[in-house]
Amino acid sequence: MKLSYTQAGESGPPLVIMHGLFGSARNWQGIAKQLANHYTVYALDLRNHGLSPHAATMGYQEMAGDVVKFLDNQQITDSVILGHSMGGKVAMELALSQPDRVNKLVVVDIAPVTYKHDFNDILDGLFSIPLDNVTSRKDADQYLARTIKTLSLRQFLLQNLVKMPDNGYQWRVNLNSIQKNMNHIMGFLEAKSSNSFSKKALFIRGGASSYLSPSHQVRALDLFPNGKVETVNKAGHWPHVESPHVFLGLLTPFLAEIA
């Protein structure tokens, strides 16, 4: 699948960024601009997200394959790969299956494990919005607030609601496929994870997030033995958004290290 992307910078080594579930390349614009003086930063829209094509399936092998196709199209032989949440699992899958394409790995607040929770409450809230009746995002937010109480989360999700030429609204993200593939999204292919990635890896976790718990860190460092874990204190699952300066303070020294 040919992925949509944005680019910041033109002269430095390639750095490829992948967003999380319900996100898009635009979530990383601020970080990309900060890094553009030293790197050529590509922020991707993964399948079923942003401006990239939709598909019925979205396993991590397939999504990693999409990234390989992007690298081939850009004639990138190897690069730094950075992924957040779902995008972090794509990044880990790519590093484990095709380590020659990955120079360094950065994974943000996710582990190579199967999580027990799901996002059915969010999906139920999004599906509850009557797209034929809403006339604005503010209108849609009133419906979404019935099931999702956190304003910042609603604002993030509603970035996927786009106005049509006929003044109607539709979802940019493929909700039906995400719902169908939720077990794959929350999982990770353990059989595929029998190999390890020996190059440098950085795991950045939010101090208030449970996605990279101590037991999950053990599994991460088992598969990525040359990795290290850093914490953005007080941040949740989006440390790059909640504390961007601290996040960059951890990321940029790692990027500058000799591979």
CB 204 within 8 A of CB 237: no
Condensed to tens digits (0 to 9), the pLDDT of residues 227-236 reads 999 999 999 9
Average pLDDT on 216-240 reads 96
- Token code pair at residue 118: 């799901």
Check residue 191 and give its pLDDT: 42
| Per-domain residue ranges of the chain | 5-115+187-256, 120-173
Q: Which of 225, 173, 228 is nearest to 19 (CA)?
A: 173
CB 197 within 8 A of CB 99: yes
Place of tokens 């509850």: 128
Average pLDDT on 51-77 reads 97
Average pLDDT on 126-143 reads 92
Check residue 164 and give its pLDDT: 86
Check residue 11 and give its pLDDT: 87
Residue type, 75: Q
Average pLDDT, the chain: 94
What letter would DSSP give residue 25?
G
Average pLDDT on 73-94 reads 97
Distance CA 26, CA 16 (A): 13
Average pLDDT on 230-244 reads 96
Provide, rounded to the nearest whole percent, the portion of the chain with pLDDT above 90.
90
CB 92 within 8 A of CB 187: no
Check residue 194 and give its pLDDT: 60
Condensed to tens digits (0 to 9), the pLDDT of residues 177-215 reads 999 999 999 999 754 546 899 999 999 999 999 999 999
Condensed to tens digits (0 to 9), the pLDDT of residues 105-129 reads 999 999 999 999 889 899 999 999 9
Taken in order 258, 64, 186, 218, the sign of the CA dihedral is negative
Check residue 90 and give its pLDDT: 97
Condensed to tens digits (0 to 9), the pLDDT of residues 145-185 reads 999 999 999 999 999 999 988 778 999 999 999 999 999 99
CATH class entry, domain 5-115+187-256: alpha beta
Distance CA 98, CA 65 (A): 10
